[in-house]
Amino acid sequence: MKSRPFGTMPSGEPVSAWTLANKAGASVEILTLGGIVRTLSVPDRHGRLADVVLGFDTLAAYVARHPYFGAIIGRIAGRVTNGSLLVEGRTYPLARNNGPNHLHGGLVGLDRRVWQAEPVARPDGAASLRLTYHSPDGEEGYPGHVDLAVTYTWTADHVLVIESEATSDRPTPISLAHHGYFNLAGEGTGSVADHDVQILADTVIPTDEHFTLLGRRLPVAGQPGDFRRSRRLGDALPHLYQAHGDTYELGAPAGRIVARVAEPRSGRQMTVTTDEGWLQFYTGVALDGTLVGKSGRVYGAHAGLCVECQGYPDATNRPGFGDILVRPGTPQRRRTAYAFTIL
Protein backbone atom coordinates (compact mmCIF):
# COMPACT_ATOMS: atom_id res chain seq x y z
CA MET A 1 0.00 0.00 0.00
CA LYS A 2 1.24 3.49 -0.76
CA SER A 3 -0.10 7.05 -0.77
CA ARG A 4 0.60 10.19 -2.74
CA PRO A 5 -0.63 13.80 -2.68
CA PHE A 6 -3.58 14.38 -4.99
CA GLY A 7 -3.98 18.13 -4.57
CA THR A 8 -5.51 20.65 -2.23
CA MET A 9 -9.17 21.56 -1.77
CA PRO A 10 -10.29 25.21 -2.13
CA SER A 11 -10.62 25.13 1.69
CA GLY A 12 -6.92 24.31 2.00
CA GLU A 13 -7.48 20.66 2.99
CA PRO A 14 -4.97 18.28 1.39
CA VAL A 15 -6.28 15.25 -0.48
CA SER A 16 -4.34 12.00 -0.73
CA ALA A 17 -4.61 9.05 -3.09
CA TRP A 18 -3.99 5.59 -1.61
CA THR A 19 -3.17 2.60 -3.80
CA LEU A 20 -4.03 -0.90 -2.59
CA ALA A 21 -2.43 -3.65 -4.69
CA ASN A 22 -2.22 -7.42 -4.60
CA LYS A 23 0.57 -9.74 -5.71
CA ALA A 24 -1.03 -10.20 -9.13
CA GLY A 25 -0.61 -6.49 -9.84
CA ALA A 26 -4.34 -5.72 -9.73
CA SER A 27 -5.04 -2.58 -7.73
CA VAL A 28 -7.52 0.01 -6.50
CA GLU A 29 -6.80 3.69 -5.83
CA ILE A 30 -8.89 5.53 -3.24
CA LEU A 31 -9.06 9.27 -2.59
CA THR A 32 -9.56 10.78 0.84
CA LEU A 33 -12.02 13.12 -0.86
CA GLY A 34 -15.35 11.32 -0.54
CA GLY A 35 -13.71 7.90 -0.28
CA ILE A 36 -13.70 7.94 -4.08
CA VAL A 37 -12.53 4.78 -5.82
CA ARG A 38 -10.60 6.55 -8.57
CA THR A 39 -9.15 3.52 -10.33
CA LEU A 40 -9.78 -0.22 -10.17
CA SER A 41 -7.51 -2.31 -12.39
CA VAL A 42 -8.35 -5.99 -12.93
CA PRO A 43 -7.25 -8.58 -15.52
CA ASP A 44 -9.18 -9.88 -18.52
CA ARG A 45 -9.16 -13.51 -19.70
CA HIS A 46 -5.67 -12.96 -21.17
CA GLY A 47 -4.29 -11.46 -17.97
CA ARG A 48 -4.27 -7.90 -19.32
CA LEU A 49 -5.13 -5.24 -16.75
CA ALA A 50 -7.66 -2.49 -17.41
CA ASP A 51 -9.18 0.20 -15.23
CA VAL A 52 -12.89 -0.65 -15.00
CA VAL A 53 -14.31 2.40 -13.17
CA LEU A 54 -15.11 5.88 -14.47
CA GLY A 55 -13.31 8.87 -12.99
CA PHE A 56 -10.88 11.75 -13.48
CA ASP A 57 -7.16 12.46 -13.38
CA THR A 58 -7.32 15.72 -11.43
CA LEU A 59 -8.75 16.90 -8.14
CA ALA A 60 -10.23 19.94 -9.90
CA ALA A 61 -12.49 17.67 -11.93
CA TYR A 62 -13.79 16.04 -8.75
CA VAL A 63 -14.27 19.37 -6.97
CA ALA A 64 -16.44 20.49 -9.86
CA ARG A 65 -19.90 18.94 -9.84
CA HIS A 66 -19.85 15.39 -11.19
CA PRO A 67 -22.24 12.42 -11.01
CA TYR A 68 -20.77 10.94 -7.79
CA PHE A 69 -18.10 8.90 -9.61
CA GLY A 70 -16.85 6.21 -7.23
CA ALA A 71 -17.81 8.03 -4.02
CA ILE A 72 -19.24 7.23 -0.61
CA ILE A 73 -22.82 8.52 -0.67
CA GLY A 74 -24.71 9.74 2.40
CA ARG A 75 -25.84 10.41 4.98
CA ILE A 76 -28.66 8.83 2.96
CA ALA A 77 -27.98 7.39 -0.48
CA GLY A 78 -30.91 7.85 -2.86
CA ARG A 79 -33.96 10.11 -2.79
CA VAL A 80 -35.81 11.25 0.32
CA THR A 81 -39.34 12.26 -0.72
CA ASN A 82 -39.96 16.02 -0.67
CA GLY A 83 -36.74 16.53 1.29
CA SER A 84 -38.62 15.72 4.48
CA LEU A 85 -37.15 13.47 7.13
CA LEU A 86 -39.33 12.06 9.93
CA VAL A 87 -37.37 10.84 12.97
CA GLU A 88 -39.23 9.78 16.10
CA GLY A 89 -42.13 12.13 15.50
CA ARG A 90 -40.06 15.16 14.49
CA THR A 91 -39.74 16.43 10.92
CA TYR A 92 -36.38 17.66 9.63
CA PRO A 93 -36.33 19.64 6.35
CA LEU A 94 -33.49 18.69 4.00
CA ALA A 95 -32.18 20.33 0.85
CA ARG A 96 -34.28 19.57 -2.23
CA ASN A 97 -31.38 19.16 -4.60
CA ASN A 98 -33.05 16.84 -7.12
CA GLY A 99 -36.41 18.17 -8.26
CA PRO A 100 -38.76 17.95 -5.27
CA ASN A 101 -36.52 15.46 -3.47
CA HIS A 102 -33.37 15.28 -1.39
CA LEU A 103 -30.67 13.24 -3.16
CA HIS A 104 -27.48 11.54 -1.94
CA GLY A 105 -26.99 13.50 1.28
CA GLY A 106 -27.65 17.00 -0.02
CA LEU A 107 -25.66 19.88 -1.42
CA VAL A 108 -22.42 18.93 0.33
CA GLY A 109 -22.80 15.26 1.10
CA LEU A 110 -20.19 12.78 2.29
CA ASP A 111 -18.90 12.50 -1.28
CA ARG A 112 -17.62 16.09 -1.02
CA ARG A 113 -15.98 15.79 2.41
CA VAL A 114 -12.32 15.03 3.09
CA TRP A 115 -11.94 11.89 5.21
CA GLN A 116 -9.01 10.83 7.38
CA ALA A 117 -7.12 7.74 6.21
CA GLU A 118 -5.28 5.05 8.16
CA PRO A 119 -3.87 1.72 6.90
CA VAL A 120 -5.26 -1.39 8.57
CA ALA A 121 -3.10 -4.43 9.36
CA ARG A 122 -4.92 -7.67 8.56
CA PRO A 123 -3.87 -11.22 9.47
CA ASP A 124 -4.26 -12.32 5.84
CA GLY A 125 -1.99 -9.52 4.61
CA ALA A 126 -4.62 -8.01 2.30
CA ALA A 127 -4.24 -4.28 1.66
CA SER A 128 -6.82 -2.42 3.74
CA LEU A 129 -7.54 1.26 4.32
CA ARG A 130 -9.87 2.78 6.94
CA LEU A 131 -11.41 6.20 6.29
CA THR A 132 -13.10 8.14 9.08
CA TYR A 133 -15.25 11.26 9.18
CA HIS A 134 -17.14 13.09 11.92
CA SER A 135 -20.43 14.55 10.69
CA PRO A 136 -21.64 17.19 13.16
CA ASP A 137 -25.21 17.64 14.31
CA GLY A 138 -27.16 19.62 11.70
CA GLU A 139 -24.82 18.94 8.79
CA GLU A 140 -26.99 19.11 5.65
CA GLY A 141 -30.01 19.26 7.99
CA TYR A 142 -29.54 15.82 9.55
CA PRO A 143 -29.85 15.38 13.32
CA GLY A 144 -27.11 14.02 15.57
CA HIS A 145 -23.34 13.94 15.77
CA VAL A 146 -22.27 10.91 13.73
CA ASP A 147 -18.90 9.16 13.57
CA LEU A 148 -18.43 7.24 10.35
CA ALA A 149 -15.82 4.73 9.25
CA VAL A 150 -15.52 3.05 5.86
CA THR A 151 -12.88 0.36 5.38
CA TYR A 152 -11.75 -0.72 1.92
CA THR A 153 -9.96 -4.06 1.55
CA TRP A 154 -8.44 -5.37 -1.67
CA THR A 155 -7.86 -9.11 -1.56
CA ALA A 156 -5.43 -11.44 -3.30
CA ASP A 157 -8.26 -12.80 -5.43
CA HIS A 158 -9.51 -9.41 -6.69
CA VAL A 159 -12.34 -8.69 -4.27
CA LEU A 160 -13.06 -5.12 -3.19
CA VAL A 161 -14.67 -5.32 0.25
CA ILE A 162 -16.36 -2.18 1.59
CA GLU A 163 -17.33 -2.20 5.27
CA SER A 164 -19.01 0.72 7.01
CA GLU A 165 -19.66 1.57 10.64
CA ALA A 166 -21.72 4.44 12.06
CA THR A 167 -22.36 5.62 15.62
CA SER A 168 -24.47 8.57 16.78
CA ASP A 169 -25.38 10.42 19.96
CA ARG A 170 -29.07 10.49 18.98
CA PRO A 171 -31.39 8.55 16.66
CA THR A 172 -30.59 9.52 13.08
CA PRO A 173 -30.81 7.82 9.68
CA ILE A 174 -27.65 6.51 8.04
CA SER A 175 -27.70 4.65 4.74
CA LEU A 176 -24.41 4.78 2.87
CA ALA A 177 -23.66 3.39 -0.59
CA HIS A 178 -20.71 3.01 -2.93
CA HIS A 179 -21.47 4.85 -6.18
CA GLY A 180 -18.96 3.28 -8.55
CA TYR A 181 -19.59 3.45 -12.29
CA PHE A 182 -18.34 0.18 -13.79
CA ASN A 183 -17.39 -0.61 -17.37
CA LEU A 184 -15.83 -4.07 -17.43
CA ALA A 185 -14.48 -3.54 -20.96
CA GLY A 186 -12.40 -0.70 -19.54
CA GLU A 187 -13.02 2.92 -18.65
CA GLY A 188 -13.58 5.11 -21.71
CA THR A 189 -14.31 2.22 -24.10
CA GLY A 190 -17.88 3.27 -24.80
CA SER A 191 -21.30 2.02 -23.80
CA VAL A 192 -22.01 -0.85 -21.39
CA ALA A 193 -24.96 -1.94 -23.54
CA ASP A 194 -23.21 -5.25 -24.32
CA HIS A 195 -22.78 -6.10 -20.63
CA ASP A 196 -24.90 -8.95 -19.30
CA VAL A 197 -26.71 -8.03 -16.08
CA GLN A 198 -28.33 -10.23 -13.45
CA ILE A 199 -30.10 -8.84 -10.34
CA LEU A 200 -31.36 -11.50 -7.95
CA ALA A 201 -34.40 -9.71 -6.56
CA ASP A 202 -38.10 -10.52 -6.71
CA THR A 203 -39.47 -7.08 -5.78
CA VAL A 204 -39.14 -3.65 -7.35
CA ILE A 205 -40.37 -0.19 -6.27
CA PRO A 206 -42.13 2.04 -8.85
CA THR A 207 -41.28 5.74 -9.14
CA ASP A 208 -42.84 8.88 -10.57
CA GLU A 209 -41.36 11.18 -13.22
CA HIS A 210 -38.89 12.60 -10.63
CA PHE A 211 -37.78 9.09 -9.62
CA THR A 212 -39.54 9.61 -6.30
CA LEU A 213 -39.97 6.20 -4.68
CA LEU A 214 -43.70 5.55 -4.40
CA GLY A 215 -43.48 3.09 -1.51
CA ARG A 216 -45.33 0.30 -3.29
CA ARG A 217 -43.83 -3.13 -3.76
CA LEU A 218 -44.36 -4.77 -7.14
CA PRO A 219 -43.36 -8.28 -8.20
CA VAL A 220 -40.44 -7.88 -10.58
CA ALA A 221 -41.86 -10.65 -12.78
CA GLY A 222 -43.18 -9.07 -15.96
CA GLN A 223 -41.57 -5.71 -15.25
CA PRO A 224 -39.06 -4.14 -17.68
CA GLY A 225 -36.45 -4.30 -14.90
CA ASP A 226 -36.69 -8.06 -14.41
CA PHE A 227 -33.04 -9.18 -14.44
CA ARG A 228 -33.46 -12.39 -12.46
CA ARG A 229 -32.12 -14.16 -15.52
CA SER A 230 -29.01 -12.58 -17.00
CA ARG A 231 -29.88 -10.18 -19.84
CA ARG A 232 -27.92 -8.05 -22.26
CA LEU A 233 -28.36 -4.52 -20.93
CA GLY A 234 -28.85 -3.04 -24.41
CA ASP A 235 -31.88 -5.25 -24.93
CA ALA A 236 -33.47 -3.98 -21.72
CA LEU A 237 -32.66 -0.28 -22.05
CA PRO A 238 -35.50 0.69 -24.43
CA HIS A 239 -38.02 -0.74 -21.98
CA LEU A 240 -36.68 0.68 -18.69
CA TYR A 241 -38.42 3.84 -17.47
CA GLN A 242 -36.38 6.72 -18.93
CA ALA A 243 -33.66 4.06 -19.51
CA HIS A 244 -32.62 4.73 -15.91
CA GLY A 245 -32.79 1.57 -13.76
CA ASP A 246 -34.79 0.57 -10.69
CA THR A 247 -34.72 0.12 -6.91
CA TYR A 248 -34.93 -3.53 -5.80
CA GLU A 249 -35.74 -5.17 -2.48
CA LEU A 250 -33.17 -7.87 -1.85
CA GLY A 251 -34.67 -9.78 1.06
CA ALA A 252 -32.94 -12.49 3.11
CA PRO A 253 -30.50 -14.02 3.65
CA ALA A 254 -28.04 -11.21 4.29
CA GLY A 255 -24.62 -11.52 2.72
CA ARG A 256 -25.76 -13.45 -0.34
CA ILE A 257 -24.96 -12.82 -3.99
CA VAL A 258 -27.36 -10.13 -5.23
CA ALA A 259 -26.04 -9.21 -8.68
CA ARG A 260 -23.68 -10.25 -11.46
CA VAL A 261 -22.37 -8.20 -14.36
CA ALA A 262 -20.33 -9.72 -17.19
CA GLU A 263 -18.59 -8.34 -20.28
CA PRO A 264 -18.26 -11.09 -22.91
CA ARG A 265 -15.36 -9.70 -24.94
CA SER A 266 -12.92 -9.27 -22.06
CA GLY A 267 -14.33 -12.15 -20.04
CA ARG A 268 -14.48 -10.00 -16.91
CA GLN A 269 -17.28 -10.71 -14.46
CA MET A 270 -18.26 -8.76 -11.34
CA THR A 271 -20.24 -10.50 -8.58
CA VAL A 272 -21.83 -8.40 -5.85
CA THR A 273 -22.61 -9.62 -2.32
CA THR A 274 -24.11 -7.50 0.46
CA ASP A 275 -25.93 -7.52 3.77
CA GLU A 276 -27.91 -4.43 2.74
CA GLY A 277 -31.63 -4.81 2.09
CA TRP A 278 -31.91 -2.79 -1.12
CA LEU A 279 -30.13 -2.27 -4.42
CA GLN A 280 -30.27 0.68 -6.79
CA PHE A 281 -29.33 -0.20 -10.35
CA TYR A 282 -28.39 2.77 -12.53
CA THR A 283 -27.50 2.62 -16.23
CA GLY A 284 -25.58 5.90 -16.50
CA VAL A 285 -28.22 7.35 -18.80
CA ALA A 286 -27.56 10.95 -17.70
CA LEU A 287 -23.94 10.91 -18.88
CA ASP A 288 -24.13 13.23 -21.86
CA GLY A 289 -20.67 13.54 -23.36
CA THR A 290 -19.70 16.70 -21.47
CA LEU A 291 -17.28 14.94 -19.08
CA VAL A 292 -13.85 13.73 -20.16
CA GLY A 293 -12.48 10.79 -18.20
CA LYS A 294 -9.06 9.40 -17.35
CA SER A 295 -8.61 7.91 -20.82
CA GLY A 296 -9.08 11.32 -22.42
CA ARG A 297 -12.35 10.11 -23.94
CA VAL A 298 -15.76 11.60 -23.24
CA TYR A 299 -18.34 9.73 -21.21
CA GLY A 300 -21.51 9.36 -23.23
CA ALA A 301 -24.80 7.81 -22.16
CA HIS A 302 -24.33 4.41 -20.50
CA ALA A 303 -20.54 4.73 -20.34
CA GLY A 304 -20.76 2.99 -16.97
CA LEU A 305 -23.34 1.30 -14.76
CA CYS A 306 -23.90 1.41 -11.00
CA VAL A 307 -24.86 -1.35 -8.57
CA GLU A 308 -25.52 0.56 -5.34
CA CYS A 309 -26.25 -1.53 -2.24
CA GLN A 310 -28.00 0.49 0.45
CA GLY A 311 -30.94 0.84 2.81
CA TYR A 312 -34.32 2.07 1.61
CA PRO A 313 -33.76 5.84 1.15
CA ASP A 314 -37.24 6.87 2.31
CA ALA A 315 -37.40 4.40 5.20
CA THR A 316 -38.02 7.02 7.90
CA ASN A 317 -41.17 8.09 6.06
CA ARG A 318 -42.28 4.58 5.08
CA PRO A 319 -42.81 2.13 7.98
CA GLY A 320 -42.24 -1.43 6.91
CA PHE A 321 -39.41 -0.70 4.48
CA GLY A 322 -36.54 -1.39 6.85
CA ASP A 323 -34.80 0.48 9.65
CA ILE A 324 -31.94 2.81 8.76
CA LEU A 325 -31.85 4.62 12.12
CA VAL A 326 -28.65 4.57 14.13
CA ARG A 327 -29.31 4.81 17.87
CA PRO A 328 -26.94 5.72 20.71
CA GLY A 329 -25.00 2.72 21.94
CA THR A 330 -25.83 0.55 18.91
CA PRO A 331 -23.41 0.89 15.99
CA GLN A 332 -24.66 0.25 12.48
CA ARG A 333 -22.38 -2.05 10.48
CA ARG A 334 -22.75 -2.97 6.81
CA ARG A 335 -20.69 -4.92 4.26
CA THR A 336 -20.70 -5.02 0.45
CA ALA A 337 -18.17 -6.78 -1.76
CA TYR A 338 -17.42 -6.58 -5.48
CA ALA A 339 -15.58 -9.67 -6.71
CA PHE A 340 -13.85 -9.70 -10.11
CA THR A 341 -13.40 -13.02 -11.90
CA ILE A 342 -13.12 -14.42 -15.41
CA LEU A 343 -16.00 -16.05 -17.27
Least Cα distance to 111 among 3, 21, 30 occurs for 30
Question: Does 158 qualify as catalytic in the annotation?
Answer: no
- Contacts of 184 by beta carbon, 8 Å cutoff, 6+ apart: 52, 192, 195, 261, 262, 263, 266, 268, 269, 270
* 8 Å CB contact between 177 and 307: no
pLDDT of residue 87: 95
Give backbone dihedrals phi and psi of 29, rounded to 5 degrees, phi first: -115, 130
pLDDT of residue 242: 96
Give backbone dihedrals phi and psi of 235, rounded to 5 degrees, phi first: -75, -30
Query: In tens digits, what is the pLDDT along the chain, a chain of 343 residues?
Result: 999 999 999 999 999 999 999 999 999 999 999 999 999 999 999 999 999 999 999 999 999 989 999 999 999 999 999 999 999 999 999 999 999 999 999 999 999 999 999 999 999 999 999 999 999 999 999 999 999 999 999 999 999 999 999 999 999 999 999 999 999 999 999 999 999 999 999 999 999 999 999 999 999 999 999 999 999 999 999 999 999 999 999 987 777 999 999 999 999 999 999 999 999 999 999 999 999 999 999 999 999 999 999 999 999 999 999 999 999 999 999 999 999 999 9
- In the set 139, 249, 276, 308, the catalytic residue is 308
- CB 139: neighbour CB atoms within 10 A? 19
CATH topology of domain 2-342: Beta-galactosidase; Chain A, domain 5 (2.70.98)
Q: How far apart are CA 238 and CA 208, in angstroms?
A: 18
pTM of the model: 0.97
- In the set 178, 179, 195, 302, the catalytic residue is 179
Q: How far apart are CA 144 and CA 243, in angstroms?
A: 37
pLDDT of residue 192: 98
Least Cα distance to 157 among 300, 10, 18, 341 occurs for 341
SS3 per residue for 53-77: ECCCCCHHHHHCCCCCCCEEECCEC
> What is the residue type of 36?
I
In the chain, where the domains are located:
2-342
